[in-house]
Structure 1
Amino acid sequence: MNLQKSLDFLKALSEHNDKSWMDENRKWYETEKKTFEAFVSGLIAEIAVFDPAIADLTPKDCIFRLNRDIRFSNDKSPYKTNFGAAMAIGGKKSNKAAYYIHIQPGHSFLGGGMWMPEAAVLKNIRQEIDYGFEDFQKLIKAPAFTKHFKKIDGETLSRPPKGYEADNPAIEYLKHKSFTVGKALSDKEVTHKDFLAHCAEAFASMKPFIDFLNQSTD
């Protein structure tokens, strides 16, 4: 399945981000929406091979709306200029760690993890890292993982969180408020015939990281 026409649509949308253009191009949008839904359906099936817990998800459970919430934004553009989906136990609105895909001309990426977890979950993640730092290091330094994801991203505190000393071996990870990873994708990669398989391989390498984070939500 080729996503070239989806990239073409998103590029055009970024240049004409208004309701009148969308109304005129509704059929194009509906076509590319279905293409992305089919891609996400295939991605769910691929991920379910190594992570059966998400096997019962549907594309609707995972794909984010194109419409933007502009109520509190200075940017009144009505539409996002990307297609995005989060595959997590319970769907995109759950508190579980997710596999994420973002399709946008020139800015596509694969990602995953937890973004700004609630306080209780964040506390648990920090405890898991502190208690099991050796295991955590092994999974984020595994060759399969580092082939795709080079570092843990996310907003961090400037000082150690409450209950942890500055000399804690895991302090740079304990300062994190989010625990995410990402891998940039070129348009050429997104439109390659093996793109689905490439995504599946990257997400498979991420599974130990996802499992580690999900321990904190049980």
Structure 2
Amino acid sequence: MPNTIPKETLTFFKQLSKNNNRDWFNDHKKEFKAVEAEVKQFYNAMFEDLNKHDVIDKFKLFRIYRDVRFSKDKTPYKTHFGGSFHRKKPELRGGYYLHIAPDNGSFLATGFWEPHKDDLLRIRKEFEMDDKEFRDIINNKSFKSVWGDLVGDEVKTAPKGFNKEHSAIDLIKKKQFIFTKKYTDKEILSDGFLKEVDKSFKAIRPYFDYMSDVLTTNLNGESLI
């Protein structure tokens, strides 16, 4: 069925996790390519839906091959699909991501994974000056019902140049600004999953609009673009 994730996707990855070697993969590469083609259609449908209410300038479906050079895990293949969608810069900031994995390991993620150091400092300076608008957005009842709590890596005490006693230190400490949403295998294989994804991504817009405004202006609110 168009615009759905085929159940063979999860079946393939379950088999691959038990046989994560080049010989097995090469023997089943035709099967993988068939699954990949269908999943790519789903990501393309996401791209089209997102562009109805946002401006996405590029989409990337990550390759299945793992970079094992600096990893203790030397298995050569990923056991999931991952696809990211980038908003049109410089005026629009933030990104969307869908992770498809078996055993209820699928999730959506959105936000800022690795902000550039200048962007990170600008965000922290905004929170240092005023964090109320940001908290109002992420604590909004309807927003929270979709995305839950803000997550992401953070420093232990306070970044250099910031007071560890500041009332917004919980936000200032963050190095990432991410929201995630997990799904069961049954949910991602359902006919309505594409609509669910788009509905959830629509709900993130107040957050993206705020962050885009911050990252395209200085502390006086003057445009940088």
Instruction: Give me the TM-score of the superposition, normalised by structure 1.
Output: 0.89
Question: Which is richer in helix?
Answer: 1
The structure 2 residue matched to 1:189, chosen from 187, 190, 197, is 187
Q: Which of structure 1's runs of 4+ aligned residues deviate more than 4 A?
A: none
Tell me the alpha carbon deviations over residues 26-47 of structure 1, each in whole angstroms, 9 at most, x when there is no partner. 1111111111111111111111
SS in 1 for 2:179: strand
After TM superposition, list the pairs within 5 Å mapping 1:62-211 onto structure 2.
Answer: 62-89=60-87, 96-105=93-102, 106-211=104-209
Deviation at 1:89, TM superposition (A): 2.2
Given that 1:114 and 1:213 are in contact with CA atoms closer than 8 Å, whether structure 2 keeps it comes out as no
Q: Which ranges of structure 2 fall in alignment gaps of 5 or more residues?
A: 217-225
Q: What amino acid maps onto 1:127 in structure 2?
A: K
Deviation at 1:132, TM superposition (A): 4.1
Q: Residue in 2 aligned with 1:49?
A: 52
Distance 1:36 1:161, change over 3 A: same
Counterpart of 1:103 in structure 2: which amino acid? I
What is aligned with 1:6? 9
Displacement of 1:148 in angstroms is 2.0
Residues 183-202 of structure 1, C-alpha deviation per residue, up to 9 Å, x if partnerless?
11111110111000000111
Q: 2:19 is matched with which residue?
A: 16
Q: Secondary structure at the match of 1:81?
A: coil
- Among 198, 211, 214, which residue is 1:213 paired with? 211
Task: Look up the match of 2:221.
Answer: none
Please give the alpha-carbon distance, in whole angstroms, between the structure 1 residues aligned to 2:86 and 2:129.
Answer: 25
Aligned letter for 2:177? F
- Residues 73-129 of structure 1 show CA distances to partners (whole Å, capped at 9, x for unaligned) of 1111111111001111269xxx95211110001211111111132211110121233
How many percent identity over aligned positions?
A: 30
| Cα distance in 1 for residues equivalent to 2:28 and 2:215 | 42
> What is the number of equivalent residue pairs in this alignment?
210
| TM-score between both structures, scaled by the size of structure 2 | 0.86
Asked if 2 retains the 8 angstrom alpha-carbon contact of 1:113 and 1:213, the reply is no
Whether the aligned pair in 2 keeps the contact of 1:101 and 1:111 (CA below 8 Å) is yes
CA displacement at 1:3 relative to structure 2: 2.9
Q: Are the aligned partners of 2:5 and 2:42 in contact in 1 as well (CA < 8 Å)?
A: no
RMSD: 1.9
Aligned-partner Cα distance in 2 for 1:151–1:34: 34
**Aligned amino acid, residue 141 of structure 2:** P
Larger Rg: 2
Q: Residue 166 of structure 2 aligns to a residue in which SS?
A: coil
